[in-house]
Structure formats: structure tokens, C-alpha cells
Amino acid sequence: MNSQKLQNNKLKTAVLFLVFNKPDTTRQVFEAIRQAKPPRLYVACDGAREGNNKDRQNIIEVKKITSEVNWPCKIKIRFNKKNLGCKYAVSSAISWFFKHEEMGIILEDDCLPSKSFFYFCDDLLNKYKNEHRIMHIAGMTYVEKRDNKENYSYHFCKVGGIWGWASWRRAWEKYELEMNSYKQAIQENIFDHIFYRKPQMNFFFKNMFKHAFKNNYTWDYQWTFTKIINNSINIMPAKNLIKNIGFGNKNATHTTNKEKKYSNMKIKQLNFPLRHPKFIVVDENFNSENFMYVYSGGVKDKLIRLLKFILPKFIIKIIMNKRNETIY
């Protein structure tokens, strides 16, 4: 599908826009949503942190930006009066979204999508809505497949990132915010063989879930946990469709370091109609290369990742200077 046809194509899927206190990036992402013209838009925002007047001012501006809907669209708004924090604000917003929608696209206020991201999700949400093995459609691809002979538009992976993604109510219903199955999963050694012939990946995820269970302060580790224990197969596009524009933003929660390698990622467009893989099977090489891109690095990075599973959270924040990475 050429760019003109893509521009004239009508999006059928609802979008959940998760916002907070970053009007500058919110405006850029909202403009991308405006161009896609979703038929239904859900906007969810956490409340200002107690005593933080800057939060209040920024949220007022964010509310104004997200109200500028000038296309045919049903809009639902959810602005929290109190600050719930990342864990509860985001997870409850997604639950609210899927209470009303069977499937949908989810974007945060610093995740800038290419235009084809929306139609990529739109196509695949409908194609795989009854394929319960698939729980997640990611917008990001860190490393493109080296030998994509069939020119497929996407590949199957084990997890998939959460900077711009899509899913179904049927998948989110399995979500374990408190990781209630964690202890039993440990007893049954579920995490020892998640990735065949990749002991370093098994080790990483096993320790990541252990850390998340003890220090349960976010929402996304739990989503990764949910997908893993359900042995899901997930989708990553053949080309990267999302750029995180929040790096270096003083109001950012997880992307305060502007030197992150992700800040230089380029967003691309896919050709339509999509070319679908014949087999719903995890591409082990593609999966491994994307994993290594996210979790590889210099000696300092490797040391930090090791220490984060050992030391208390407040010490790690000091060492990392509030550095956090996306979940692959």
C-alpha cells in the first residue's frame, strides 16, 4: 500500500493514550494519533503527585492537548484525582480500556509511532483475535532480521516491548498485577527453560521476575510475567515503528538518561498489504538478537543489571542515576 492509500485508509481500532506530566511529548504523540484518526480514543492520566504544583500545571496542559479532537471520534477520559503511581495508574487504565474494547492499541505519551504502526496493529488484531497463543503485538523492533528472504512484515518472538503495543481483552484478562502464580511457577521450575539453549536468557528473566515479585512497584514486569507463564507467542514488526522521545525529559519516570541507545532509533514504515509468516512459531534467531540488543552492553551496564537483582531498590536508583530500560 503506497503512502497515499495508507493516508486514506480508515482505522477501525480504538486507541488508549496514557499520559501524565509531559505536554511537550504528549503533543507530538497526539499529533500522530490525530493523523491516524482512530474511531474511539481513550485518554488516561494519573493525578498530580502530592505537593507537586508543576505536575498540576502540566496535567492541565496535557488535558487541553488531548481534548483537541477534530475528527469523527468517540472519546472517553479518565483523569485520576489522586496520584496512584505507575503500577496502579497504568494497569487500571489498561483494564478500564479493555472493559470497553475487545482489542486495542496502547500508546504512552513519549512513544512516537510511525503512521503504519496503527494499521499494522489494526490488521493483526483482527487477523489473530481468535488465536489465543498470541497475546501481544509490539511496535518496536531493535534489530531487523538479517535474512528475511520471504520479506515478511513481522516475526514471532517470545515477549515483545511495551513502547507502543496492542492486545486483546482475552489476553489482558490473564494479567497478574500481583504475580499471584509466581511462587508456584518457581516450585515447578517454569523459568528454567523459557528459552531453549539460551541459559543467559533464562537466568535473566528468572532473576527479573524474582526482583519484580519482591519490589512490585511497576506494571510492565507483570505483563511480561503473564505472557511467559502462559507460554505466549508474540509479534514484532520487521521494521521498527516506534521511537521513544522521552529520553532526557526532566519529567520522565524511566527515561531520564538522554544518552540511551534507544533514543537514536529510527522509525520506519511498512508496506501494505502485510506479508504474513506461514507458521506461528517463534523465530529463535530474531528473538535472540533482539534480546541481546536490549540486555547487552559494556561492563558497567552488565554490573548494574547484576546488582539490581541483589541490592535494595533505593540503592540501585542511586547507582543507576534513575536509569531504567524497556522490557524486551
Q: What is the pLDDT along the chain (328 residues), one digit of tens a residue?
A: 454 445 567 899 999 999 999 999 999 999 999 999 999 999 999 999 999 999 999 999 999 999 999 999 999 999 999 999 999 999 999 999 999 999 999 999 999 999 999 999 999 999 999 999 999 999 999 999 988 999 999 999 998 999 999 999 999 999 999 999 999 999 999 888 787 667 778 888 888 899 899 888 899 999 999 999 999 999 999 999 999 998 755 554 544 455 467 778 899 999 999 999 999 999 999 998 998 888 775 444 555 555 555 555 555 455 444 444 455 6
Total Cβ atoms within 10 A of residue 180: 9
Cell of 196: 531453549
Cell of 120: 499494522
C-alpha 328 chain-centroid distance = 9
- Name the CA radius of gyration of the chain, rounded: 19
The predicted model scores a pTM of 0.87
Q: Are 119 and 272 in contact (CB under 8 A)?
A: yes
Distance CA 80, CA 101 (A): 20
- Cell 533514543 sits at which residue? 263
Cell of 17: 493514550
Q: Are 97 and 16 in contact (CB under 8 A)?
A: yes
Domain 3-320 in CATH 3.90.550.10: yes
